[in-house]
Amino acid sequence: MNLHVPTMAEMKAKGENPEILFWVGCSGSFDDRAKKITKAVVKILNSCKVSFAVLGTEESCSGDPAKRAGNEFTYQMQAMMNIEVLNGYDVKKIVTACPHCFNTLKNEYPELGGDYEVVHHTQLIQDLINTGKLVLENSQSFKGKKITFHDPCYLGRANDVYEAPRKLIEKLDAELVEMKRCKSKGLCCGAGGAQMFKEAEKGNKEINIERTEDAIETAAEIIATGCPFCNTMMTDGIKNAEKEGQVKVLDVAELIANAAEL
Amino acid sequence: MSILFFALIALIGLGFFSYNVWKIRYNINLGLPTDRSGQIGKRLKTMILVAFGQQKMFSRPIPALLHLCLYVAFVITQVELFEIFADGLTGEHRLFSSGLGGFYTFAISFIEILSVAAFFATIIFLARRNLLKLPRLNMKEMIGWPTKDANLILIFELILLACIFTMNGADEVLFQRGESHASMGTGDSFGFSVSSFLGPLLFDGLSTGNLHIVERIGWWGHLFMVLGFLNYLPYSKHFHILLAFPNTYYSNLEKKGKFNNMPSVTQEVKLMMDPNADPYATAPETTPPSRFGAKDVTDLSWKNLMDAYTCTECGRCTSSCPANITGKLLSPRKIMMDTRDRLAEVGESKRKNGIDHEDGKSLLGDYITEEELWACTSCNACVDECPVNIDPLSIIIDLRRFLVMEESKIPNELAGMLTNIENNGAPWQFSQNDRLNWANEE
């Protein structure tokens, strides 16, 4: 299936203004695993005929890792450049598949002049299902399968979004099993706060291994996530446990796109 | 004579306590301003749920129930304390009993039942710390004074409760002999729920004269313990019983993921990005000289400092910290304890040597190491766990900001990540022009 990915620049040239901007993020643009998630989101948007566009080469890092690493200068430079671009296109609503971008755009951009309605892709997909635009009828792909959801910190604790991804998993007719640490008590995958880009400090265990053990304990066949960083960390954890054959790590968007046979 | 003595003791006790509270207030006010005004309804609701209602304690039901016994007993016992003050200042005995009648018997009985519950809860708390050695109560940062402090508080509580039962129990036996000074008429018993059984059991063998002495030991003992405990609070983690309320009232009401945008940086960045800005212009004189980020406690906000004095070192934060769970040096509880200890030191030195005095030490370096700071994943687990809404993460980030922006001390990989963002708009070395390539890849 051919992906239809209009850019804001193309739309503007045609005198159009899409309803939603899809903020792809750096992982979603460059990381091979995360690119698949990006494509799954686009497939869903395409199939529901959502009026959207991406910034493409005009997009730049949201600044989240710089801010969490303590470099407020780099963060604000990025934020202000992005805000200039976004405001230039008169963007009103943004969807993103990265909770780090989501949190920064939603909570930290307004004070710098960037005020948008920002939703996580699981929220948008839930909305598409609720309004009947996306139908998952008689989907057999995940019927009865055990799926556990790993809460990304920047989606869950940071922004209190716990329900949207879970509702989507329930829509798959799958069995949602919770880890012993879940929702507001969920354990971090180890990547937040710019840890994704550095080796962990000295300790006796990697955080992602500790977290993957929680997931393996549930005997789930699929670990669902809603964050490209969590996806990487959990995938590594599964490899470390030599469970690649039994357990898959997938983004909720990929589950939905698969179930809808997109 | 005894009225005068009582008044003097009470005055000294309350006066010294007030002085120490003033010192803590002074210390907290050394922090930078942060706006926690407005939204009064929401703030009151948070305080009522989290502090009064202990909402967040109940994610761990066993300690929550034990703590609830102590908390309710503590609050209700204050009724009896009022009477001790009233008796002490008037020279009466059980002043409230004649006016309140049956309700008095009910109130004291209620207090006694709660006190028994509190007594056993305290014993269990001591056992959890010293016999069961619960991991979160026996970590590195708890060695020495913090452990002694915790045990002292529990022992004080046991003595306090023992005084209540000594006082009521001895008075009960006196009353049965018709010798009590209480103006509760005559009868077989006061009818208090616990002491009417416990009193005769413990004190029946004593002579009436000795009973009067024992009763007074209980009464004065209670008073001294209360005043002593009150004055111990400002030196102890136990100060949380007071600060829990304002600290939850001034909670951060924003989403936990939102970190503050530093206005001082915004000003600089705007200048850099403004094509019309004059690069040679002298800085406007209104700009206050400020540090980027925090090196010492005086660079933190007053709320961070209030957090530090509110911490009772329960360690829920640390036991939920992914870094700590996996053996890293970081412990959010230690961050709070270090902040408080350093603040006490800074406050003392500033009061002694003047407000501008610097002692050459700092929170960062002398108390908290870089290794601890770089272990944080900013996951907010510690913030979510805290039963009194303390935010260790905001201190960690402010210290990181100082390290990075003032001292350029940053792990190598992160320096590379920042360079990438600055050069090509992504944390990795990919060209911004390739950002849309995924759309055309198979």
Name residues of chain B where pLDDT drops below 50: none
In a domain, B277, yes or no: no
Residue B285, domain member (yes or no): no
Asked if B233 and B363 sit in the same domain, the reply is no
The domain locations on chain A are 8-127, 136-259
Are residues B225 and B297 part of one domain?
A: no
pLDDT (tens digit, 9 = 90+) per residue, B212-226? 999 999 999 999 999
B-proximal residues of A, 115-154, CB under 8 Å? 153-154
Which residues are paired to A250 by β-bridges?
A224
B409 occurs within a structural domain: yes
For B331-411, where are the alpha helices, taking DSSP H only? 332-353, 370-374, 381-385, 392-401
pTM metric for this prediction: 0.95
| Within a domain: B354 | yes
Domain assignment present for residue B204? The answer is: yes
Q: Do domains A8-127 and A136-259 have the same CATH topology?
A: yes
User: Which whole number is the average pLDDT over A3-32?
Assistant: 97
Spatial CB neighbours of B35, under 8 Å, sequence gap ≥ 6: none
Residues B222 and B309 in one domain: no
- Residues near B400 by beta carbon (within 8 Å), at least 6 away in sequence: A69, A70, B293, B373, B374, B376
The rounded distance, in Å, linking the Cα atoms of A177 and B282 is: 62
Is there a domain that residue B116 lies in?
Answer: yes
The domain in which residue B378 lies consists of: 263-270+292-428
Of A194, A125, A109, nearest to A153 (Cα)? A194
In a domain, B142, yes or no: yes
Q: How far apart are CA A163 and CA B442, in angstroms?
A: 33
Q: Are residues B115 and B236 in the same domain?
A: yes
Question: Over the stretch A131-148, which tens digit does the pLDDT of each residue have?
Answer: 999 998 778 889 999 999
A38 lies within 8 A of chain B by CB: yes
Note the pLDDT tens digit of each residue in B102-129: 899 999 999 999 999 999 999 999 999 9
Do residues B142 and B219 both lie within one domain? Answer: yes
Distance CA B387, CA B312 (A): 10
Q: Are B113 and B204 contained in the same domain?
A: yes
Output B134-137 pairs: Cβ under 8 A, ≥24 positions apart: B135/B319, B136/B314, B136/B315, B136/B316, B136/B318, B136/B319, B137/B315
Q: Which of B269, B291, B412 to mutate to test the interface with A (most CBs of A within 10 A)?
A: B269
Tell me, yes or no, whether B162 and B13 share the same domain: yes
In chain B, how many domains are there? 2
Q: Check which CATH number belongs to the domain holding B323 and give it.
A: 1.10.1060
B85 touches B3 (CB < 8 A): no
Per-residue pLDDT of B361-393, as tens digits, reads: 999 999 999 999 999 999 999 999 999 999 999
Å from B39 to nearest chain A CA? 18
The ipTM estimated for the assembled molecules is: 0.96
CB distance B399 to B368 below 8 Å: yes
CATH homologous superfamily of A136-259: AF0625-like (3.40.50.10700)
**Domain assignment present for B36:** no
Span B334-359, pLDDT tens digits: 999 999 999 999 999 999 999 999 99
The verdict on domain A8-127 having CATH code 3.30.565.10 is: no
Contact A70 B438 (CB under 8 A): no
Cβ within 8 Å, pair B329-A107: no
To test the contact with chain B by mutation, choose from A71, A202, A227 the residue with the greatest count of B C-beta atoms within 10 A, namely: A71
